[in-house]
């Protein structure tokens, strides 16, 4: 399942939405449906069957022996690998231009295993302090195992440089911060990290391969919570780790990968596949993999609509309520407008935030919305709204909240595919009613 990585693109050429496929002809939506990873499934089915089984039977002990020793192509046990899950892995790996992928049962499992795959006690991580609250909690948990995280206020070379030590083993950041909405310059951070012999892992959940392929900009590993935009309909939890198999691992610095030295640059992927995900568990369920394949096929359509809606809504609210402090990467005053336009193909993602003026006003606005659903998560077809300070960040201290752009009056909106005019009317009425 290993194959050659492709040359890195340049920043301006990497846009998932418009970039041509490896065959030089297919654009994004066509590649989703007709790419190399789209197989001829059994009986002419246009989607992979759901192999909802635990174990796979063989005619002889010899055959099973060969499968267990990787000398024959086949599946043995669904905790390790499963045909439906593999079908999803192949398709998302192709869309991210990866060398291989491992699909897991949640985005947090994906992030956890992407790190535990090579970190040891005593190692240090550098992460952006404005991460999703669940990721911040994870780094707090990793500290109990002797893995220290140093947080950078911004994911920029200037902000990260003072944090680099002899023990730094990885730089981790979000492409579009959730809900900080800071946009990482992936090329700059990859160059910075590689000059210091450090791999760069990025969480691209909020960007999706439609906006950017981080591996083409130099990131070494990309993780997604597939629960969000990739699934798209809010009906299957999942996560995925996609490896470029390009980083030249120093096995003295990463002894956890030493046993896999023979695989060279694929050591990370092979350990994740055959050791860490197998032993720690957490593989995606076949049903979730099937639903994620179905969701993936409309990713381009949904993301285009979602991003257009989010841009229209943020601009409408910003114009109607200049003191609302609307935050969206494409707003002219956003310090990330330039890099978003350049790196994300002119799109800003599907999330925006605003400040209501007080916690009470935030709650009142949320409660008065007609179309937006009051629920956690992002990336659904329907617009979701939440008060992050009292929900997503309940385990974070004041400093962490501020760094993430989360205040007591912050409202986060995950924009859906409803008609933009309806969303604008809904939010405008609720805000006008409750802010005066």
Partner 1 sequence: MVITVAGEQKEVPEGTTVAGLIALEKVDNPEYVSVSVNEDFVDREDFETRALAEKDVVEFLYFMGGGR
Site residues (vs partner 1, CB under 8 A):
1-4, 36-37, 70-75, 80-81, 85-94, 98-103, 262-266, 269-270, 273-274
Q: Considering beta carbons, is residue 106 or 168 the nearer one to partner 1?
A: 106
Asked if 238 contacts 292 with a C-beta cutoff of 8 angstroms, the reply is yes
Q: Considering beta carbons, is residue 58 or 371 the nearer one to partner 1?
A: 58
Output the smallest distance, CB 289 to partner 1, in A: 10
Asked if 124 contacts 169 with a C-beta cutoff of 8 angstroms, the reply is yes
Asked if 343 contacts 217 with a C-beta cutoff of 8 angstroms, the reply is yes
* CA neighbours closer than 13 Å in the CB half-sphere of residue 408: 6
Q: Considering beta carbons, is residue 30 or 308 the nearer one to partner 1?
A: 30
Output the smallest distance, CB 94 to partner 1, in A: 6
Asked if 238 contacts 105 with a C-beta cutoff of 8 angstroms, the reply is yes
Asked if 173 contacts 155 with a C-beta cutoff of 8 angstroms, the reply is yes
Closest CA to 106 of 276, 208, 278, 239: 239
Output the smallest distance, CB 245 to partner 1, in A: 9
The SS3 call for residue 25 is coil
Task: Please name the residue ranges forming H helices in 323-368.
Answer: 337-343, 359-368
- Burial, 57: exposed, middle or buried (Cβ in 10 Å; 0-12, 13-18, 19+)? exposed
* Strand (E) or helix (H) holding 113: helix 107-116
Asked if 163 contacts 152 with a C-beta cutoff of 8 angstroms, the reply is yes
Output the smallest distance, CB 174 to partner 1, in A: 23
Q: Considering beta carbons, is residue 74 or 346 the nearer one to partner 1?
A: 74
Output the smallest distance, CB 331 to partner 1, in A: 37
Asked if 146 contacts 121 with a C-beta cutoff of 8 angstroms, the reply is yes
Output the smallest distance, CB 16 to partner 1, in A: 16
* Strand (E) or helix (H) holding 128: strand 124-128
Q: Considering beta carbons, is residue 94 or 185 the nearer one to partner 1?
A: 94
Question: Which residues does 341 contact at the CB level (< 8 Å), separation at least 6?
Answer: 330
Between β-strands 200-203 and 168-174, what pairing exists: parallel, antiparallel or unpaired?
parallel
Give one DSSP letter per residue of 330-357, joined into a string: TSTT-TTHHHHHHHTTT---SEEEEE-S
Rounded-to-integer distance, Cα 210 and Cα 307, Å: 11
Asked if 435 contacts 365 with a C-beta cutoff of 8 angstroms, the reply is yes
Output the smallest distance, CB 273 to partner 1, in A: 5
Q: Considering beta carbons, is residue 2 or 163 the nearer one to partner 1?
A: 2
Between β-strands 410-414 and 351-355, what pairing exists: parallel, antiparallel or unpaired?
antiparallel
Output the smallest distance, CB 226 to partner 1, in A: 12
Q: Considering beta carbons, is residue 167 or 261 the nearer one to partner 1?
A: 261
Output the smallest distance, CB 298 to partner 1, in A: 20
Q: Considering beta carbons, is residue 149 or 285 the nearer one to partner 1?
A: 285
Q: Considering beta carbons, is residue 90 or 410 the nearer one to partner 1?
A: 90
């Amino acid at each position: 399942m290993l194959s050659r990585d492709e040359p890195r693109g340049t920043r301006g050429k990497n846009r998932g939405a418009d970039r041509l496929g490896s065959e030089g002809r297919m654009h994004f939506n066509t590649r989703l449906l007709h790419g190399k990873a789209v197989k001829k499934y059994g009986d002419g089915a246009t989607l992979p069957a759901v192999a909802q089984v635990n174990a796979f039977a063989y005619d002889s002990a010899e055959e099973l022996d060969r499968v267990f020793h990787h000398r024959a192509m086949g599946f043995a046990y669904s905790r390790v690998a499963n045909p439906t899950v593999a079908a999803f892995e192949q398709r998302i790996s192709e869309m991210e231009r990866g060398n291989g992928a491992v699909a897991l049962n949640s985005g947090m499992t994906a992030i956890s295993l992407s790190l535990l795959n090579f970190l040891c006690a005593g190692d240090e991580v550098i992460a952006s302090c404005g991460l999703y609250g669940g990721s911040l909690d994870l780094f707090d948990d990793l500290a109990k195992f002797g893995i220290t995280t140093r947080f950078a206020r911004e994911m920029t070379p200037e902000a990260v440089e003072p944090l680099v030590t002899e023990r730094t083993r990885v730089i981790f950041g979000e492409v579009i911060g959730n809900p900080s909405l800071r946009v990482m310059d992936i090329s700059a951070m990859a160059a910075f990290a590689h000059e210091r012999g450090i791999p760069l892992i990025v969480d691209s959940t909020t960007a999706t391969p439609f906006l950017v392929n981080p591996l083409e900009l130099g990131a070494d590993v990309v993780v997604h919570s597939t629960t969000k935009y990739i699934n798209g309909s809010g009906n299957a939890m999942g996560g995925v780790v996609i490896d470029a198999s390009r980083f030249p691992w120093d096995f003295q610095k990463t002894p956890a990968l030493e046993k896999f030295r023979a695989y060279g640059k694929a050591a990370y992927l092979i350990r994740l596949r055959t050791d860490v995900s197998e032993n720690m568990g957490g593989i995606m369920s076949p049903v979730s993999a099937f639903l994620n394949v179905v969701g993936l096929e409309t990713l381009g359509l949904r993301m285009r609509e979602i991003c257009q809606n989010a841009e229209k809504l943020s601009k409408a609210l910003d114009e109607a309520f200049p003191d609302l402090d609307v935050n969206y990467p494409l707003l002219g005053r956003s310090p990330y407008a330039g890099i978003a336009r350049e790196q994300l193909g002119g799109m800003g993602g599907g999330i925006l935030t605003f400040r209501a003026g007080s916690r009470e006003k935030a709650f009142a606005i949320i409660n008065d919305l007609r179309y937006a659903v009051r629920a956690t998560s992002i990336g659904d077809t329907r617009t979701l709204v939440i008060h992050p300070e009292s929900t997503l960040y309940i385990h974070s201290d004041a400093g962490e909240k501020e760094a993430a752009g989360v205040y007591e009056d912050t409202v986060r909106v995950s924009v859906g595919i409803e008609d933009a005019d309806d969303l604008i009317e809904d939010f405008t009425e609720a805000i006008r009613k409750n802010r005066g």
